[in-house]
């Protein structure tokens, strides 16, 4: 049976992470649940479809298989394509050949590498300033406890793969337009493990690994930028046999803070002051990211003035002297004036020799203000 594109069914992107997939599934499952739509066969159909899609995308093995082949059906029991874990960190093709046929891996090594997994983490600006310890929940493939990672029911050693005679790899010659290319590729029968399992473990079905959810503690240093990625070695999926442990990649996202614009280590904030404050000067305290910030308004400050507050910005990566905050000054012009205020402003204007609007002129500026008063 052909499977509908599970990404399409759940309405998620190809690179969607486990949380996005889970929440899309929950939303759709709730909407199409037969209990909510009694007597509607199309809802039941849709509900089943959503469940099938989720069963593929929530299982790193099935997901990787679907990504690779566009189906999860009729696959040989091919444990090699273990786990996608979410994200596009690994091109499976590269991983396949990069790890098995060179790429630094020792030749003749039997086993398969654990997948790298990705997790997305949101940070506040305050966390960027001080750094933060985060507990991250990850879904990964871990050694099966039931068979102790052998894949054989009840433990015990698997047999040697007859195709590769336990080598885990087979050599093949391909004819390409460049001539004959001899390549060594993972054994298609055993997926590179060099073993054959006649009595597969009921828990892992011979894959030697099972899906687990684990909490990984990550110390995020100060000063990180949105989009930065931290590699946490060995916290990805377990490798099998002599395969290496996968890594966890933590992708950092700094939350927007409406109070500030960030330019590297510099924070830009906006400050509205009154005409009196601008003219006479003032000492103000404004909100910084982690503490209040003293701002000194000089007498005669003009609209658009930028006041630099040293050390109120963000630290460089891994900490150190903090950058500055630039306070962009705006001068408020009052929009509603009392009669007394108008009188004073007129007096002020006369004193300073500015042109003064005529008080009697109802069509002028004052007309707008007093037009309705009798």
Annotated binding site: 144, 147, 161, 164, 187, 190, 201, 204
141 forms part of the interface with Zn ion (CB under 5 A): no
Vertex 214, ends 213 and 215: CA angle to 5°?
A: 140
187 forms part of the interface with Zn ion (CB under 5 A): yes
Spatial distance between the Cα atoms of 129 and 6, rounded to a whole number of angstroms: 40
Residue 60 tokens read as 């790193």
Span 159-178, contacts to Zn ion by CB under 5 A: 161, 163-164
Annotated binding site for Zn(2+): 144, 147, 161, 164, 187, 190, 201, 204
Of 147, 169, 224, 293, the one binding Zn ion (CB under 5 A) is 147
What is the nearest approach in angstroms of Zn ion to the Cβ of residue 109? 13
What is the nearest approach in angstroms of Zn ion to the Cβ of residue 323? 53
Spatial distance between the Cα atoms of 245 and 352, rounded to a whole number of angstroms: 78
Residue 142 tokens read as 């871990």
Of 129, 190, 250, 307, the one binding Zn ion (CB under 5 A) is 190
Q: Using CB under 5 A, which of the segments 44-52, 60-68, 99-107, 156-164 binds Zn ion?
A: 156-164
What is the nearest approach in angstroms of Zn ion to the Cβ of residue 23? 30
Kindly determine how many residues on this chain lie close enough to bind Zn ion according to the rule CB under 5 A.
Answer: 12
Q: CB of 72 within 8 A of CB of 6?
A: no
Q: CB of 294 within 8 A of CB of 353?
A: no
Spatial distance between the Cα atoms of 194 and 117, rounded to a whole number of angstroms: 25
Span 307-326, contacts to Zn ion by CB under 5 A: none
Minimum CB distance to Zn ion smaller for 99 or for 119: 99
What is the nearest approach in angstroms of Zn ion to the Cβ of residue 165? 8
Q: Using CB under 5 A, which of the segments 88-96, 117-125, 204-212, 348-356 binds Zn ion?
A: 204-212
Of 9, 21, 169, 201, the one binding Zn ion (CB under 5 A) is 201
Positions touching Zn ion (CB under 5 A) are: 144, 146-147, 161, 163-164, 187, 189-190, 201, 203-204
């Amino acid at each position: 049976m052909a499977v509908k594109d599970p990404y399409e069914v759940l309405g998620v992107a190809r690179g969607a992470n486990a949380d996005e997939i889970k929440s899309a599934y929950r939303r759709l499952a709730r909407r199409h649940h037969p209990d909510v739509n009694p007597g509607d066969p199309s809802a039941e159909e849709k509900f089943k479809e959503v469940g099938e899609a989720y069963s593929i995308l929530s299982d790193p093995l099935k997901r990787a298989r679907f990504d690779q082949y566009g189906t999860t059906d009729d696959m040989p029991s091919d444990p090699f394509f273990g786990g996608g874990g979410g994200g596009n960190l690994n091109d499976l093709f590269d991983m396949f050949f990069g790890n098995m046929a060179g790429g630094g891996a020792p030749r003749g090594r039997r086993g398969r590498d654990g997948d790298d997994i990705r997790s997305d983490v949101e940070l506040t600006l305050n966390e960027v300033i001080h750094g933060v310890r985060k507990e991250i929940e990850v879904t990964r493939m871990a050694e099966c406890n039931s068979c102790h990672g052998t894949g054989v029911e009840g433990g015990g050693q698997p047999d040697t793969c007859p195709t590769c005679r336990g080598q885990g790899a087979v050599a093949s010659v391909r004819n390409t337009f460049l001539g004959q290319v001899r390549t060594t590729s993972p054994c298609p029968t055993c997926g590179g493990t060099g073993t054959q399992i006649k009595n597969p473990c009921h828990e892992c079905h011979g894959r030697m690994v099972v899906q687990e959810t684990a909490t990984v503690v990550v110390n995020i240093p100060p000063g990180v930028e949105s989009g930065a990625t931290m590699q946490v070695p060995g916290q990805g999926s377990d490798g099998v046999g002599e395969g290496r442990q996968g890594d966890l990649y933590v992708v950092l996202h700094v939350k927007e803070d409406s109070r500030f614009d960030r330019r590297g280590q510099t924070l830009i904030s906006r400050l509205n002051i009154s005409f009196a404050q601008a003219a006479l000067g003032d000492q103000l305290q404004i909100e910084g990211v982690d503490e209040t910030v003293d701002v000194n308004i000089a007498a005669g400050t003009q609209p658009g003035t930028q006041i630099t507050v040293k050390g109120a910005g963000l630290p460089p990566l891994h900490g150190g002297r903090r950058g500055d905050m630039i306070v962009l000054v705006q001068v408020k012009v009052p929009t509603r004036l009392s009669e007394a205020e108008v009188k004073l402003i007129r007096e002020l204007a006369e004193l300073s020799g500015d042109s003064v609007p005529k008080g009697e002129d109802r069509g002028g500026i004052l007309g707008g203000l007093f037009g309705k008063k009798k």
